Chains A and B, each alone.
Chain A
Amino acid sequence: MSPILVLDDVSVKLPAGGDRSHAMEKVSLTLAANEILCVVGESGSGKSMTANAIMRLLPGGVTIDGGQILFEGRDLCGLGEAQMRKVRGAGIAMIFQEPMTALNPLRSIGDQIGEMFELHTELSAAEIKARTLALLEEVRIPDPALAFKAYPHELSGGQRQRAMIAMALALDPKVLIADEPTTALDVTTQAQILELIRDLQRRKGTAVLFITHDFGVVAEIADRVAVMSKGEVVEQGETQAVLGNPQHAYTRQLIAAVPPLKAPPARPLSDEPIMTIGHVSKTYRTGGFLGRGQRITHAVKDVSLVLPKGATLGIVGESGSGKSTLARCLVRLIDPESGEIRLNGIDLASLSREEMRAATRHIQMVFQDPFASLNPRRKAGEAVAQGLVVHGMARPQALARAKELFGLVGLDPAATERYPHEFSGGQRQRIGLARALALEPAVLVADEPVSALDVSVQAQVLKLLAELRQRLGLSIVFITHDLRVAAQVCDLVAVMKSGEVVEAGPIGTVYGEPQHPYTQALLASIPGREFGKGR
């Protein structure tokens, strides 16, 4: 079949002064009708830049400085802005990662999809409405007539992404570019959206360029795959061949870093509990006047769990399941309404704020976002030493201890003098870990500690965490949405949904024979389940 979109030695130049001169270097890709090509790579690999270059939507100062982008035989690089506008939407359409920001919050969904027809066709208003409704039906939005009138904030994340897909497919484009379309979605929603994209692509014969960082998604959806690293395509071929028998060292390294879904053999667990969580609840009330007409959200509802000494308890669930609220209750960033949190026999939930400040040294937290969790105006070493100083250590000793801790988490002890922005994401997460470990806590609460990291960095941080757990005898509460990650580090796992724990137990049992329908659905939704199971 003749290719519909050809990238021939395309190079994209970055503005001077960056860490590299080109975002893309001599990238050659071909995309034929009726196939899904996945472009996969880590952050900074140039995969999103590829999508933007094709659409000619490059940021200011970034230019295409070599090669051709042939769409149906026409070089897009040579087109004027007016001609390019005709290609966008009608010839090549695009869907984005975050549908909430890609949609205009002040206009209804129907209005925004209808705009595609207004701009590119001569249809009458009635015809546009009929076509829009048909599209919404096609992307299987529940109750299309209602969704037509809805505003973006009234739809769920998955529904918004469906609306975006409807918009992209409005004019039957030859090529659909999907830039991480499921990354912001929950795993069960992700499975539905992937199935929808695949199904629509089959029926309409669209060529899809699918950009992702997730090898599970690749295994699930791709016909062919291209692996990018530092702006270059290092390997491409049939999905089966690349995933099953990777040739390039980088591809092999990436695939090896994907955590397999199978839990490692169970470790013996201590009978002695270090922390018991008993009937913890947290409710949010919003709006209303004097107690009337309030909206009540049960963020955490009667949760009881036990963390044995030295064990790792995973808490998994989708967004809104209350897992992060629970984590924050444990360290009293949020005050639980009822229930007790016994750490070494002391009920943290009943301590006053002053007493809790002293008790923080026994329970510490690692945060999700390595960029937001460090004060940009404080040196890394000081950030680590801070807790020690607050709890009474003299400053010079604390700074010396910070250097030791840097060594412990695999950072250069000399780097304590540097500011957070001088570190990479993975290194910052190590600093966050050092800060939490500085107080030698009995329990470490880790809230999605690796979900903002690339897969290879993620593997390193998980390995470090496992080493430290062994060495320091840490007990960990590990919050994650990623069941693969949970399988790697957790001894026990609790599945949360709408604030409640629906199933809990040793990870091998829960993954092997899930009892609750929701756990079964979660496990069934993991993209590329088969891929990686054999390893």
Chain B
Amino acid sequence: MDLVKLYFRSPAAVIGLVLLILVLAMAASADFLYPRDPLALAGRPLIWPFSNPRFLLGTDNSGRDIAAQIFHGARISLLIGGVATVISVMIGITIGALAGYYGSWVDTALMRVTEAFQTLPNFLLLLVLVAVFGSTITTVTVAIGIVSWPASARLTRAEFLSLRNREFVQAGRTLGLKDMRLIFGEILPNALPPVIVYASVVMAIAILLESALAFLKLSDPNVASWGNLIGAGRDVLRVQWYVSAIPGIAILVTVLAVSLVGQGLNDALNPRLKSR
């Protein structure tokens, strides 16, 4: 596989992949290492990290094990990031593909809708959606997906605009292919690489959006997410800063990993850019 070889040529991409695998491993081993409910009281509140061997990363202000929350939180963050990204990219691809392929009034209408979404700050829109539909993990995830699709729609549209008049698409049309087949069978596979790369950015944004919601105590309080932990630590930020800092580092590492992998994919998929 050329793609794999190209990907591993970049040290940054390899570091990103290692970090991502690390986070995935944390998520996978959470039940095994911390079989108890991470949100259950475990000991004395506000134990500093590395001072008690039972609580390696200490405890938060309610006496819950921070390490357990970090491990279980990795699942939540990756789940929210992954599902929200899929939702967002699906909406984006569909709207972008239809707008780019049909052009004229379809394009105009869909692009005005896209612009409407883009002009609203997406965090504000997210707050509105969560305020209206409540803050269970499902609504939070879907809401994040719904606010973050416009960029992938624009990207897909741009690719479609350049591809739709290529001769191979015209050839498909002269063979009698239907529009949907031309869009999804012929053009989309060629338009996909930049969108896949952009999906990594969406994923990083989704994780950050969930954390920001949780920091405002608007995310689902019944799951052990990193954002919830940061939100809890807000009350004791000036003295026991580690309660917020440890999940902060986890978020930083995950977002960095996802971005590096995305960048690596981008370089591997566009080999011509690499030689510079």
Q: Do A and B bind each other?
A: yes
Cβ-closest chain A residue relative to B187:
A375
Q: Are A374 and B175 in contact (CB under 8 A)?
A: no
B275 within 8 A of A: yes
CB pair B172 A360 closer than 8 Å: no
Expressed in whole angstroms, the Cα–Cα distance for A60 and B178 within the complex equals 44
Instruction: Decide: A364 and B174 in contact? CB cutoff 8 A.
Output: yes
Among B170, B175, B189, B275, contact of A387 (Cβ-Cβ < 8 Å) = B175
Contact of B176 among A60, A360, A378 (CB under 8 A): A360
Q: Which 4 pairs of residues, A with B, have the shortest CB-CB distance?
A: A387-B175, A373-B167, A360-B176, A367-B167
Name A296-352 residues within 8 Å CB distance of B.
328, 331, 333
Query: 8 A-B pairs, CB-CB below 8 angstroms?
Result: A360-B175, A364-B175, A368-B167, A373-B167, A375-B189, A376-B168, A386-B175, A390-B181
Chain B residues whose C-beta falls within 8 Å of the C-beta of A377 in the assembled complex: 189-190
Contact assessment for A375 and B174 in the assembled complex, using a CB-CB cutoff below 8 Å:
no
Q: Is residue B9 contacting chain A, with contact meaning CB distance below 8 A?
A: no
The distance in angstroms between the C-alpha atoms of A377 and B187, with both chains bound, is: 10
Residue B107 lies at the interface, judged by CB distance under 8 Å to chain A: no
* CB pair B174 A390 closer than 8 Å: no
Contact with A374, one of B168, B176, B275 (Cβ below 8 angstroms): B168
Q: Is B173 an interface residue (CB 8 A)?
A: yes
Closest to B168 in A: A375
Contacts A357-B178, A358-B176 given; indicate if A373 touches B275 (C-beta within 8 A): no
Is there an interface contact between A373 and B190, defined as CB atoms closer than 8 Å?
Answer: no
Beyond the given pairs A360-B175, A390-B176, 4 more chain A to chain B contacts, judged by CB atoms under 8 angstroms and listed by A's residue number, are A365-B170, A365-B171, A375-B168, A390-B175
B172 touches which one: A328, A376, A386, A391 (CB < 8 A)?
A386
Q: Point out residues on A near B: beta carbons under 8 Å.
A: 60-61, 328, 331, 333, 356-358, 360-361, 364-365, 367-369, 372-378, 386-387, 390-391, 432, 435-436, 439
Residues of B near A368 (CB, < 8 A) are 167
When A60-B275, A376-B190, A377-B189 are in contact, do A435 and B171 touch as well, CB less than 8 Å?
A: yes
Note all chain A residues with C-beta closer than 8 A to B190: 375-377
B29-75 contacts to A, CB under 8 A, are none
Q: Return the CB mask of B154-166 against A: 1 if under 8 Å, else 0.
A: 0000000000001
Q: Among the interface residues B167, B173, B174, which one has the most CB atoms of the partner chain A within 10 A?
A: B174
Contact A367 B171 (CB under 8 A): yes
The answer to whether the Cβ of B83 comes within 8 Å of any Cβ in the partner chain is: no
Kindly provide the distance from the CB of A277 to the nearest chain B CB, expressed in whole angstroms.
17
**B216 contacts chain A at the CB level, 8 A cutoff:** no
Across the interface, which residues of B come within 8 angstroms of A372, CB to CB? 166-168
Interface centre among B167, B168, B175, B177 (most CB of A within 10 A): B175
**A residues near B171, Cβ cutoff 8 Å:** 365, 367, 373-374, 432, 435
Q: Are B275 and A360 in contact (CB under 8 A)?
A: no
Cβ-defined contact, A333 with B186, below 8 A:
no
Nearest chain A residue, comparing its CB with the CB of B190: A377
**How many Å lie between the Cα of A358 and that of B178 in the bound state?**
11
Smallest Cβ-Cβ distance to A373: which chain B residue: B167
Q: Count the B residues whose beta carbon is within 8 Å of the partner chain — how many?
A: 17
Residue of A nearest to B170 (CB): A333
Distance in angstroms between the alpha carbons of A292 and B172 in the assembled complex: 37
Q: Which residues of A contact B176 (CB under 8 A)?
A: 356-358, 360-361, 387, 390-391
Which single residue of chain B is at the shortest CB-CB distance from A386?
Answer: B175
**Is B167 a contact of A61 with CB atoms below 8 Å?**
no
A432 to B275, CA, bound (A): 33
Q: How far is the CA of A358 from the CA of B177 in the complex (A)?
A: 10
A357's nearest neighbour on chain B, judged by CB, is: B176
* Contact assessment for B275 and A365 in the assembled complex, using a CB-CB cutoff below 8 Å: no
Question: In the bound complex, how far is the Cα of B177 from the Cα of A331, in angstroms?
Answer: 13
Bound: A372/B173 CA distance, A: 14
Contact of B177 among A328, A333, A390 (CB under 8 A): A390
B174/A365 in contact, CB under 8 A: yes
Give CA–CA (A436, B181) in the complex, Å.
Answer: 18
Chain B residues with Cβ below 8 Å from A357 are 176-178
A358 to B174, CA, bound (A): 10
- Contact A333 to B167, CB < 8 A, known contacts A60-B275, A357-B178: no
Among residues of A, the one whose C-beta sits closest to the C-beta of B192 is A377
Residues of A within 8 A of B189 (CB): 375, 377
- Tell me how far the C-beta of B104 lies from the nearest C-beta in chain A, rounded to whole angstroms: 14
Instruction: Determine whether the beta carbon of A439 is less than 8 Å from that of B168.
Output: no
| B235 to A: closest C-beta gap in Å | 54
Nearest B residue to A370 via CB reads B167
Partner of A435, one of B166, B175, B181, B186: B175
- Chain A residues contacting B173 (CB-CB under 8 Å) are 333
Which of A61, A328, A369, A439 is close to B175, meaning CB atoms less than 8 Å apart?
A: A439
Q: Which residues of B contact A374 (CB under 8 A)?
A: 168, 171
The minimal Cβ–Cβ distance linking A325 to chain B, given in whole angstroms, is 13
For the complex formed, measure the closest distance between the CB of B230 and the CB atoms of chain A, giving whole angstroms.
43
Q: In whole angstroms, how far apart are the Cα atoms of A375 and B188 in the complex?
A: 11
Smallest Cβ-Cβ distance to A445: which chain B residue: B174
Residue interface bits B173-205, CB-to-A below 8 A is 1, else 0: 111111001000010011000000000000000
Rounded to whole angstroms, the CA-CA distance of A4 and B168 in the bound complex is: 48
- Shortest Cβ distance from A182 into chain B, in angstroms? 25
CA distance A365 to B181 in the complex (A): 19
Q: A435–B166 Cα gap in the complex (Å)?
A: 16
Residue of B170, B171, B181, B190 ringed by the most chain A CB atoms within 10 A: B171
Q: Measured between alpha carbons, how far is A439 from B168 in the docked complex, in Å? A: 17
A165 to B172, CA, bound (A): 42
Residue picked from B172, B176, B189, most chain A C-beta under 10 Å: B176
Tell me the smallest distance from the CB of A255 to a CB of chain B, in Å. Answer: 31
Contacts of B275 in A (CB 8 A): 60-61
Q: Tell me, rounded to whole Å, the shortest Cβ–Cβ distance linking B77 to chain A.
A: 33
Contacts of B181 in A (CB 8 A): 390
CA distance A357 to B190 in the complex (A): 24
**Complex Cα gap A460–B174 (Å):** 25
Instruction: Tell me which residues across on chain B come within 8 A of A435, comparing CB atoms.
Output: 171, 175
- Chain B residues with Cβ below 8 Å from A369 are 167
Q: How far is the CA of A391 from the CA of B189 in the complex (A)?
A: 23
Q: Which of B166, B168, B172 has the most CB of A within 10 A?
A: B168
Report chain A residues within 8 Å CB of B177. Answer: 357, 386, 390
CA distance A372 to B169 in the complex (A): 9
Query: Looking across the interface, which residue of chain B has its beta carbon closest to that of A439?
Result: B175
- How near does chain A come to B81, taking the closest CB pair, in angstroms? 28
Q: Which residues of B contact A364 (CB under 8 A)?
A: 174-175
Residue of B nearest to A384 (CB): B175
How long is the Cα–Cα vector from A191 to B190 in the complex, in angstroms?
Answer: 41
Name the residue on A nearest B188 (C-beta).
Answer: A377
B133 to chain A, nearest CB (A): 39
* Chain B minimum-CB-distance residue to A364: B174
Which residues of A are found within 8 Å of B168, using beta-carbon distances? 372-376
Task: Give Cα distance in the complex from A384 to B176, angstroms.
Answer: 13
In the bound complex, residues from chain A placing their C-beta under 8 Å from that of B166 are: 372
Which residue on chain A has the smallest CB distance to residue B179?
A353
Q: How far is the CA of A510 from the CA of B20 in the complex (A)?
A: 71
Q: State which residues 251-276 of B face A: CB under 8 Å.
A: 275
Instruction: Kindly state the separation between the CA atoms of A525 and B167 in the bound complex, as whole angstroms.
Output: 30
